[in-house]
Chains A and B, each alone.
Chain A
Amino acid sequence: MARALLYGTAVSPGYAIGRVHLLHMAGMVEKRRIAPRQAEREQQRLRAASESVREALREAMGKVPEDLAEYREVIAAQMELARDPKLLESAAKRIESDLICASWALDETINQLCALFDKMEDPYLRDRAQDIRAVGLRLRESLQGSRAAVAPGEACVLMAEDLSPADVMDMDFSGVQALVTAQGGPTSHTAILARGLRIPALVGLPDVLATVHEGDSVIVDGVGGVLLAGPEQDDLAQYTALREEYTAWETRVRAAAHWPADTRDGVRVSVQANMERPEEAGEMRESGADGVGLYRTEFSFLRDVLPGERELLEEYGAVVRGVAPARVVFRTLDVGADKMMRAQSNAKEPNPALGLRGIRFCLRHRHIFRTQLRALMRVGVAGNVALMLPMISTLDEVLTVRDIMRDLHGELAARHIPHAEKLPLGVMIETPAAVLIADALARECDFFSIGTNDLIHYLLAIDRNNHQVAYLNEALHPAVVRSLKRIIDSAHREGIWVSVCGELASDPYGLALLLGMGVDAVSASPRFVPGMKHMLRRLDAATCMDLAYNVLMSADISASQRMVRERLQESLGSELAFHTTSILAHCHE
């Protein structure tokens, strides 16, 4: 085939060169008309398919690891769907009335059911169409005998529309070199699976199945986010070399992930992980992270019904136990009215980024906030816990939260419920106002955490959803660099620590600069942790301080970029490319 480049989202790093294997022979529904006397046989085949799919799912279920309860539930629901009377009876009726084969009748039934669910108001129920399609696909494959399971050791680049938990569980991935899916994002099953297997993965390539076919030769670039179809000799040579270099580098980096990250001149930076689900604790520990610098608590709130205190306590307790003895920094609920559950969605705001979000939302909806704080204070006796408040723009907000916590302490003490009276309380510095009053905030707080993504948007007055102004998203803008320095200095003057938990922390350019400014901790997605630690060990804090000084003095963004790049190339050499794609190299969102 002709050489073609397809761009997607890299969700697991690495390089692979191989031949495509399609998981589902998509789009090939057997459409055969039948004679009336054959109807019974087709119905019988349908029942048999239902049985064999249930059997396969049951087997898949048995392989689900202990900590993936969520997978088990999805598969259990699919098992029930595979024998659903409504599904099977409608398809059986269709066979008889339309005189069509089982696959065809099934396909029509599945489409009709999906259309029904797609129209539903409840987003949760709407998503169930995915389960129905996944089960339909399995039934069809069983009917047509077309399921092409990957044989053990068979090397291939596995491609699919999307991967469901059952696909993930009942396949042998030992020979799979890379995963590529048309759908999905950074949190899809594909991403989680690929990271677990340590193979490169690309998601979100909508045209991939139309462009690439079974057996095609491809190169998967899980660093740059590119799928190269029909590579030429030069491409193959280039990527073979890259792959070898990358593999050797990765082995070295992972071997040292659990050691502290000390720079060449002995400055230790704590490298922590961001989390948002208790199930991620395993991945966090494996990454070698020195704790959790940001636990996002939004997940359990983005449903139709507010979580109760007990539910939250259970979630937070699982996180704290999973991460112990290291510390978990819980960020209190950071939603705006735009993201909030249905109960609050009547409050439509024209500009949610500047609206009632983060701490503003929490202080307005005190009952929600108090429930969360109670759960956090109670979990405070179970381990190493700190709290941080998002979207702070006044000192008053911090003082109010302290008042609420005092009040809750009285309440909990009166009921003899064990809890931590005082927890380390920090604030997110992400608004220009917070930057300018950082000195005052530092006197009232136990630590700062810089949310660089929002800080850049607010400082440079860019709407993150507006592509017209995306070019302004520039981490080396003097306004950003000076703010970072001001925040870190204000904190250190009051003797409190500063961490950075935005994208800038996992960016090699950002990390070098932050090290030079004296940041105490950085926090990023667990998959970046080994690389960040490795990079810090290769850097020299004194030289980075010099670099930071020069960048602070520079009003010219491209000169700053050049300075950082040169410094990094000197320290890291060719492996610079293996670190995450840089904010400087790409326009984000």
Chain B
Amino acid sequence: MHEAIAETADGLRLPLVLRMRGGLHARPAAKLAQEAQRFTADIRIETENGQADAKSMLDVLSLALPQDTEFTLTASGPDARAALEGVAACLDSLRD
């Protein structure tokens, strides 16, 4: 899946689809924030309706992402690639 990571001037981008029943709820949002905080890179979730800091559970929750939403994970900073892979793997482990 990580071949899909695109490099742009603003950092790395990875388009994904949310595969979670009922959307991104508190438990997965907490896990996601926890994972994101391991990295120094700035990690964001971008959707049509806005973007959120992946390290903030509140910010992620306030996007109110429903199931099957298409979004883009972006990362910029020294460990951007590892961050993107780590967070994507974390999201993947939370899917059902």
Residues of B within 8 A of A132 (CB): 58
A122 and B34 in contact (CB under 8 A), knowing A77-B57, A85-B53?
no
Nearest B-chain residue to A306, judged by Cβ? B21
Judge whether B57 and A80 touch: CB under 8 Å: yes
> Which has the most chain B C-beta neighbours within 10 Å: A85, A121, A305?
A85
The chain A residue sitting closest to B34, CB to CB, is A80
Indicate if the CB atoms of B56 and A85 lie closer than 8 Å.
yes
Q: How far apart are A300's CB and chain B's nearest CB, in angstroms?
A: 11
Cross-chain contact of A84 among B21, B23, B56 (Cβ < 8 A): B56
Q: Which of B26, B30, B53, B64 contacts A86 (CB 8 A)?
A: B53
B85 interface residue, CB < 8 Å from A? Answer: no
Interface residues on B, range: 20 to 34
The distance from the CB of A79 to the nearest CB of chain B, in whole angstroms, is: 8
Residues on B with beta carbons closer than 8 Å to the beta carbon of A117 = 61-62
CA distance in complex: A73, B57 (Å) = 14
CB interface residues, A 65-124, toward B, < 8 Å: 73, 76-77, 79-81, 84-87, 113, 116-117, 120-122, 124
Task: Known A87-B58, A125-B61; judge A77-B27 contact (CB<8 A).
Answer: yes
Known contacts A73-B27, A305-B67: A86-B22 contact under CB 8 Å: no
- CB-CB under 8 A from B29, the residues of chain A are 77, 80
What is the chain A residue whose CB lies nearest that of B30? A80
Q: Which of chain B's residues have a CB closer than 8 A to the CB of A73?
A: 26-27
Q: A84-B57, A86-B56 are in contact. Are A116 and B27 (CB under 8 A)?
A: no
Answer whether residue A304 sits at the interface, using C-beta atoms and an 8 A cutoff: yes
The answer to whether A121 touches B64, judged by C-beta atoms less than 8 angstroms apart, is yes
Question: Are A76 and B64 in contact (CB-based, < 8 A)?
Answer: no
Identify the closest chain A residue to B67 (Cβ): A305
Determine the residue in chain B with the shortest Cβ distance to A85.
B56
Question: Taking the complex as formed, is A303 at the interface, i.e. its CB lies under 8 A from any CB of chain B?
Answer: yes
Q: Please name all residues of chain A whose beta carbon is closer than 8 Å to the beta carbon of B23 when the two chains form the complex.
A: 122, 304
Binary flags per residue of B48-72, CB closer than 8 Å to A gives 1, else 0: 0000010111110110100100000
- Is the CB of B25 closer than 8 A to any CB of chain A? yes
Please report the number of residue pairs spanning A and B whose Cβ atoms sit closer than 8 angstroms.
57
CA distance A80 to B35 in the complex (A): 11
- Residue of B22, B33, B56 near A305 (CB, 8 A) is B22
Task: Say if the beta carbon of A128 comes within 8 Å of chain B.
Answer: yes
- Is there an interface contact between B33 and A80, defined as CB atoms closer than 8 Å? yes
A131 at the interface (CB under 8 A from B): yes
Contact B26 A77 (CB under 8 A): yes
Residues of B within 8 A of A304 (CB): 22-23
Q: Is the CB of B21 within 8 A of A305?
A: yes
* In the complex with contacts A77-B30, A125-B64, A86-B21 CB distance below 8 A: no
Interface code B66-93, partner A: CB below 8 Å = 1, 0 otherwise?
0100000000000000000000000000
The reply to whether B58 and A81 contact each other, CB–CB distance below 8 Å, is: yes
Q: How far is the CB of A491 from chain B (nearest CB, A)?
A: 41
Distance of A578 Cα from B39 Cα, bound (Å): 60
Interface string of B1-33 (1 = CB under 8 A from A): 000000000000000000001110111011001
Contacts of A113 in B (CB 8 A): 58
A167 vs B30: C-alpha distance in the bound complex, in angstroms? Answer: 20
Identify which of B27, B30, B34, B61 gathers the most chain A CB atoms within 10 Å of its CB. B61
Bound: A77/B33 CA distance, A: 10
Across the two chains, which residue of chain B brings its CB closest to A81? B57
Closest to A74 in B: B26
B32 nearest in chain A by CB position: A80
* B61 cross-chain contacts in A, Cβ below 8 A: 117, 125, 128
Expressed in whole angstroms, the minimum distance between the Cβ of B64 and any Cβ of chain A is 6
Cβ-defined contact, A86 with B27, below 8 A = no
Residue of B nearest to A303 (CB): B22
A121 to chain B, nearest CB (A): 7
Are A76 and B27 in contact, with the CB atoms below 8 A? yes
Q: How far is the CB of B54 from chain A (nearest CB, A)?
A: 10
Inter-chain contact A131/B56, CB cutoff 8 Å: no
Q: Return chain B residues, CB-CB under 8 Å to A305.
A: 21-22, 67
Residue of A whose beta carbon sits closest to that of B55: A85
Q: How far in angstroms is the closest Cβ of chain B from A131?
A: 7
Identify the B interface with A (CB < 8 A).
Answer: 21-23, 25-27, 29-30, 33-34, 53, 55-59, 61-62, 64, 67
List 13 additional contacts besides A73-B27, A125-B61, A125-B64; criterion CB under 8 Å: A76-B27, A77-B27, A77-B30, A80-B33, A81-B57, A84-B59, A85-B56, A86-B53, A117-B62, A122-B64, A124-B25, A128-B61, A303-B22
**A-B pairs with the 6 shortest C-beta distances?**
A86-B56, A80-B30, A305-B21, A77-B26, A86-B59, A77-B30
